[in-house]
Amino acid sequence: MANKAGNRRVGTAAKDDDAAAAAQQPKILTLSAVTLATRDMARAVRFYEALGFPLKYGGPSETFTSFEFGGTFLNLIADARAPAAWWGRVIVYVSDVDRLYRKALAAGLEPEFAPLDAPWGERYFHIVDPDGHEISFARPLG
């Protein structure tokens, strides 16, 4: 910030100005939702319900569906033209990775591998939904 003579303020006053400006900036708080396209809403809803995702809105015959967990939403939007291509993954923390893995198997789903302990400190497994979206279920180790 400049004084009346056009000189840049220095020292404590400049730091206070910088701190005040930073305090007024918007902050990124949390992830609200991830929205995934699906070519078959009924099939996608069955998949996520089989894993235990709680349905909040919509359903198998709707064009938009939301599952809510831990204050976050996983949304599905019907789009018959949605391409099946790898785009990355969503990581969801769960209370018991191994129990969810067994639940997925019991529901006839096919996780990519059995739960592993990762060197970065998580136990996890991956599963691909019917539209090709990769979901990782994890829990911190220790």
- Candidates 93, 50, 95, 48; CA nearest to 74 is 48
Q: Which residue has the tokens 């911190």?
A: 140
State how many domains the chain has.
1
pLDDT at 23: 73
- CATH number of the domain within which 133 lies: 3.10.180.10
Would you say residue 74 lies in a domain? yes
pLDDT at 7: 57
Q: Which domain holds residue 106?
A: 33-80+87-140
pLDDT at 5: 55
Measure the CA–CA gap between 89 and 6, rounded to whole angstroms.
51
pLDDT at 31: 73
pLDDT at 125: 96
pLDDT at 8: 57
pLDDT at 79: 87
Would you say residue 18 lies in a domain? no
- Candidates 86, 104, 88, 108; CA nearest to 96 is 104
Would you say residue 42 lies in a domain? yes
> Residue 6's CB: how many other CB atoms inside 10 A?
6
Q: Which residues of the chain have pLDDT under 70?
A: 1-11, 13-14, 21-22, 26, 28-29, 84-86
